[in-house]
Structure 1
């Protein structure tokens, strides 16, 4: 879900748009035009991807994994906030460093648990975890070589939260069920 806040003479107008209905038809570093209603996203409009917080629907049932997922969401939000607040590149890179350190530690711990328990979905987990690490590397490369635009923040935020939610709702939920059932037996 997107939330679009557009400023005009009456103040801020809030529109919520389902992300499945959004198609970007024109983009550059300063603006994007969304096909849904030909909204021009520029300095006068702020766009925010919804569902950027961990919630109980993402729970795996394994407390340690869920706590790590909550921390992952917090660190992603810190990175997005640093960019939205136009903090210095040093501060933004520091937020990314924290996110990467936590993500790698979490991935390593999660995969170790899977190996210890002979989890049959380990290969899929590893493949998806590599996708996430690639996403973080791409973000780092962009941040180190280019200026941050509103469009970059929008795309990055959407991509990273979509990946997390999808992975947690499917692959990690399956892992949680497997681990809980293994402990019962």
Structure 2
């Protein structure tokens, strides 16, 4: 089989927007399985890669999540603040370093040990972002601040400590709709709290 890089020939790349992140329109030729070349157009939104973490206390069977306003969800009919696992863009540092900083900034917990559990593309049809998923155990003594995020970045984050079983049940009730959070809670059901 031909390498994927040999099956794609980029013709043109046009930047459509470069404000919050970069939106590009690309015209390329793609070598199909039947050996014919097909010209395609795609828009890609490049916001960089990110990291997300599920903070958990195994002994007490609790997890730390956040709740915040998300404008894109709001304009798509979301009438509540989103409940999510702490996350952030890498901004040119390692996923491990970023997720420790984000966890502390958003939740107030300084996590000593984080473990990468998997990587995933969340919306590969249009967004270039890859997320690095982590899990990290916390105790009450790891709390060093109130958290809440960075006001200068528009963050206004509530910190939630929930029983794990309640967090899992919230998925079925539609109270947790964030994909990355659902993935981490399902991972925890299989590998941490099983």
TM-score range with shorter-chain normalisation?
under 0.3
- The structure with the greater share of residues assigned to strand is 2
TM-score (norm 1): 0.22
- The structure with the greater share of residues assigned to helix is 1
Relative contact order: is structure 1 or structure 2 higher (C-alpha 8 Å, sep ≥ 6)? 1
Which is greater in Rg?
Answer: 2
